[in-house]
Amino acid sequence: MIASLRPGLVPMGKRIQQARRGAHLTQSQVGRALGVSKQQVSHWETGRSDLTREHLLHLAKLFKVEMDWLARGTLIEAPGAAPAAHLAPVDGLTALGQKAPTPLSPATALIERVANPHPDTHYLARFTVPEFTSLCPVTGQPDFAHLVIDYAPDRWLVESKSLKLYLASFRNHGAFHEDCTVAIGKRLAALLEPHYLRIGGYWYPRGGMPIDVFWHTGTRPETLWLPDQGVPPYRGRG
């Protein structure tokens, strides 16, 4: 069966091909180094297959290029460098403005970031996800949650369409409430390196008992307005 073209992956595939040729490696050599077939490497390069973050990291090391360039087409400046305010905020994005399929799993989802136009200002950005869905890892039954994600950006903002696709990929992913909530927070914190980030996972009852999960990282700036997340404790008819 011939894998179908996935337009959202094409720009990244072209960068993988460019980096491989720059490293003077064949698809077969890359496949042996990563423990995959030559055909799999070809599918990555032509945008016909997702790849995991681990594979992306191994490719970057093999080609001796920045992982961020390979994934997004942008480079990370050395520590201490001036903020890249001159960069086009949509440079290298693969989801925004294109037809992008829902990733098969959170592990294969690519969350993208753009330059913060106000890196010298402390402010809060909030994402509310009222219909988040995942699967119970034991029974396979759907679980539902109301997520609230707050972060005070430093140099980077999360690109919202890629975030939506990442969150949608949990619909076929089995994990406990705590794992889903904390994993999302950690993934965003690692990507964005914000001043402060918090996530509240307000899960709907299963077996008559709701579970709320909270996680935060970083130091809240003193001048930051941090409003309540606005989700009351679940009381049913009590």
Eight-class DSSP state of 174? B
CA angle 165, 168, 172 (to 5 degrees): 130
- The architecture (CATH level 2) of 1-76 comes to Orthogonal Bundle (1.10)
What's the pLDDT tens digit per position in 138-180?
Answer: 999 999 999 999 999 999 999 999 999 999 999 989 999 999 9
Amino acid (1-letter code) at residue 120: D
Rounded CA-CA distance 66/73 in Å is 9
Mean pLDDT for 198-227 is 94
**CATH code of the domain made up of 102-238:** 3.30.1130.10
- With beta carbons less than 8 A apart as the criterion, state whether 77 and 36 touch: no
| Cβ proximity of 110 and 93 under 8 Å | no
Over the stretch 65-120, which tens digit does the pLDDT of each residue have?
777 777 766 444 334 433 333 333 455 677 777 777 888 888 888 899 999 999 99
Q: What percent of the chain has pLDDT over 90?
A: 54
Q: What is the length of the chain?
A: 238
Q: What are the two backbone dihedrals, phi and then psi, of residue 128, each rounded to the nearest 5 degrees?
A: -110, 130
Mean pLDDT (whole number) for 24-29: 92
Tell me the DSSP string of 84-144.
Answer: -TTS-TTTT-SSTTS--PPPSSGGG----EEE-S-TTS---EEEEEEEEEEE-TTT--EEE
Instruction: Tell me whether the CATH fold assigned to 1-76 matches the one assigned to 102-238.
Output: no
> What is the dihedral angle through the alpha carbons of 159, 67, 98, 173, rounded to the nearest 10 degrees?
-70
User: What pLDDT is attached to residue 90?
Assistant: 52
Residues noted as catalytic: 136, 143
7 DSSP β-pair partners = none
pTM: 0.64
Structure tokens at 56: 């992306």
pLDDT at 51 over 50: yes
User: 60 pLDDT band (50/70/90 cuts)?
Assistant: confident
- In the chain, what are the domain boundaries? 1-76, 102-238
